[in-house]
Every structure is written in C-alpha cells, then in structure tokens.
Amino acid sequence: MAIAKAERLMNLALCLLGTRRPLSKRELRGSIEAYLEAGSDDSFNRMFERDKDDLRELGLVIETVENLDGDTGYLARRDSNRLPPITLDAEEAAALGLAAKVWQQARLAGAASGALQKLRAAGMPETEDAYEVHSALEPRIPVHEAAFEPLMLACRDRRPVTFDYRKANSARPEQRQVEPWTLECWRGHWYLAGWDRERGAERVFRLSRITGKVRSRAGAFSAEVPDVVTVRETVESWAGETATRTARIRLRAGAGYPLRSRAIAVRERGDGWDELEIPYGHGLDAWLVEFGPDVVVEEPADLRADVVDRLRAVAKD
C-alpha cells in the first residue's frame, strides 16, 4: 500500500475513533488534508467510499447514523473496536523477537525494542529458550547508506527532497528533485521510488548511488501518489530479471560474481577469460558497464553497441 493512502486511512480511522458524535462526510472532508485536495465532490465521494470499505475490511467497525441534520454521519465507537488481550506462546514470542532484530541496524530499532518491552510488560513470555532454537538464523535488513534515514522520513512526511545521483553510465552525479513515495529492499540493496520533477516521470533510485546529503524542500507534492508502487518489478526489469533473450559475454576469470550467479552456462577459455551465457531483458547494458574492463559483450550486436555507447559517454564526461 502506498504511503499516501495508508496515511489517509489512518487519518480517517483516527477521526472516526476520536469523535464523540457522528461526523458527516462534509466534516470529515474538512478535517483530512488528502480529502481537501481531492478536487471535485465526485472524486472525494469515490475516495471516501473506497477508504471506508478498506477500513471495514481491515476490521474497523464503522457505524452509520441517518438523519444527522439531513446528512448521514459516521463514527467508530472505541468499545466496538477494542482489541482482545494479546496472548502469545513461547514460539510466537520468539518469532516477534527475531522480527525485531531485523531492524536493529536502522532507525526503527528503537521502535521495535520499545514494542517488545511493552509486550513483555503486558505478560508476553520470555523468549530466551525459544530464541536459542532459532539462533542459527538471524534475519537482518542491512542499512548502510546515509540517505536511508532522511528518505524514510521524507516518505513518511510526504516532503520533496533534493540529492545528487550518479547513474551507472555517468562519471559525475546530477542533482535530482524528487517527490519520494516508498523505500524497498531488493537483493541487499535499497531503492527509492518517486516522482522526478525535472523529468516529469516516475523513477527508481538506488540509494548507494546517492552522493552527499539528502536535502528536504518546502511545499507539497505536485504529482499524485499511486496506490501501488511496483519497486521490485521496476528494478527487476532494469536489471534484466524479466528475461526475454540470451547474451554471450566474456568475463575476466575471478571477477563478476553477480554475473556468474545469473549465468545458465559458463565455459573456461584458458586465456584468463570465461565465456558466459546470461538470460536478460531491458537494462542489462547499464549493469554490464559497472563491471568495466572485466566484461566484453560478444553477442547480440545491439547489446554490445549499447554497452559501448554507455562507456563512451562515461569517457566523455
């Protein structure tokens, strides 16, 4: 779910839970910023009805009160939406402990630890014995990029950002003005999806290619945030994960292990080079450029030409 929609649903839920009397659609529209920006009454009505249905699907009990000064009113009574007591066995508690460790290298480490402390105070069983059973596996989400934290906060707060970004085929970084939507980890790398203002299009950025500081900008988003942002699908396509063809390349012996893991066939040439066959789709040329002089494309000819063009662009810069 996109951050904008999740924020809108949360605000609607808080309004319905926090009121002591039923609120009309007009009152709810005036209280929630996203509804004020909805445009026409028809757009707002469609958005509100979808949000109301989504909250009910998530389990929120929303009451409808008729004849409220001629309008229909809505509220969510706290006693009807109170969660049952949390009861966890030792294995479930161990699973929560493992999940909390996932974020121990990122900003959410404090929130995860605080949540565990509250659960223990409420009677969650101690997990030492159960955790030992799973101690051989300790899942983590690595967050080494300095850009992660400011971008995470910008996604949460819906604040535009500016940063310098170096593309795979460029020797120098370029400044980007981006409306950040969401962050996602794929194969050990973090990616940001958002709206590139200068290019007027959706873009995905790899955090390890962001240089310098991420700077926040004033003002609201200029582009609508989609309900679903397909970060992984976009990155897979750019990385050639959606394979439609096969490439034959020469790779220097002892180099290019990510390429070797993708190869469907590897042949030693005996001259310090290996020959690989790699299934690929759009974007393989940009990836091959990252391996520099360790890679030579044999075929197809169009892929070889694309790699050569990218290398010439880098040399020109």
More confident: 39 or 122: 39
Check pLDDT > 90 for residue 84. no
What angle, rounded to 10 degrees, do the helices at 41-57 and 3-18 form?
80
User: CB neighbours of 142 closer than 8 A, spacing ≥ 6?
Assistant: 105, 188
**What domains can be seen in the chain, in order of their start residue?**
3-80 (1.10.10.10), 90-133 (no CATH), 148-233 (2.30.30), 245-316 (no CATH)
pLDDT of the residue at 274: 93
Instruction: Specify whether the CB–CB gap between 145 and 165 falls below 8 A.
Output: no
Instruction: Specify whether the CB–CB gap between 32 and 46 falls below 8 A.
Output: no
pTM metric for this prediction: 0.45
pLDDT of the residue at 2: 52
pLDDT of the residue at 289: 82
d(CA 198, CA 17) in angstroms, rounded, equals: 41
% of the chain surpassing 90 pLDDT: 19
**Could you tell me the CA-to-CA distances from 92 to 88, 113, 180 in Å, in that order?**
6, 16, 35
Give me Rg for the CA atoms of the chain: 25
% of the chain surpassing 70 pLDDT: 73
Range in 23-27, 53-57, 132-136, 204-208 with the lowest mean pLDDT: 132-136
Check pLDDT > 70 for residue 226. yes
Q: Which of 267, 263, 289, 290 is nearest to 278 (CA)?
A: 263
pLDDT tens-digit series, residues 30-65 = 888 888 887 788 888 999 999 999 899 888 899 988
Q: Which of 220, 236, 200 is nearest to 4 (CA)?
A: 220
* Residue 197, Cβ density class (10 Å: 0-12 exposed, 13-18 middle, ≥19 buried): middle
pLDDT tens-digit series, residues 237-295 = 655 456 678 889 999 988 888 888 888 899 998 899 999 998 876 667 777 888 888 99
> Is 195 in a helix, a strand, or coil?
strand
**How open is the CA angle 183-188-191, to the nearest 5 degrees?**
25
Structure tokens at 142: 């690595």
In sign, the C-alpha dihedral spanning 206, 212, 214, 215 is: negative
Instruction: Specify whether the CB–CB gap between 87 and 51 falls below 8 A.
Output: no
pLDDT tens-digit series, residues 139-170 = 555 567 788 889 988 998 889 999 999 876 66
pLDDT of the residue at 141: 56
pLDDT of the residue at 178: 95
One-letter-per-residue 3-state SS of 153-179: HHHHHCCCEEEEECCCCCCCCEEEEEE
**Could you tell me the CA-to-CA distances from 89 to 92, 94, 96, 119, 191 in Å, in that order?**
5, 9, 11, 12, 36
Share the mean pLDDT of the chain. 80
| Residues 217-236, mean pLDDT to the nearest whole number | 80
| Residues 196-200, mean pLDDT to the nearest whole number | 92
The listed range with the strongest mean pLDDT (2-6, 77-81, 121-125) is 77-81
pLDDT of the residue at 38: 79
Instruction: Specify whether the CB–CB gap between 252 and 273 falls below 8 A.
Output: yes
* Residue 162, Cβ density class (10 Å: 0-12 exposed, 13-18 middle, ≥19 buried): middle
Instruction: Compute how many other C-beta atoms are within 10 angstroms of the C-beta atom of residue 35.
Output: 19
Instruction: Specify whether the CB–CB gap between 88 and 125 falls below 8 A.
Output: yes
User: CB neighbours of 191 closer than 8 A, spacing ≥ 6?
Assistant: 183, 184, 185, 204, 205, 206, 207, 231, 235
pLDDT of the residue at 206: 87
pLDDT of the residue at 140: 55
Buried b (16+ CB within 10 A) or exposed e, 106-134: bebeeebeeebeebeeeebbebeebbeee
pLDDT of the residue at 124: 59
The pLDDT-based confidence of 179 (bands split at 50, 70, 90) is very high
pLDDT of the residue at 228: 76
d(CA 305, CA 154) in angstroms, rounded, equals: 39
pLDDT of the residue at 163: 96
Instruction: Specify whether the CB–CB gap between 297 and 303 falls below 8 A.
Output: yes
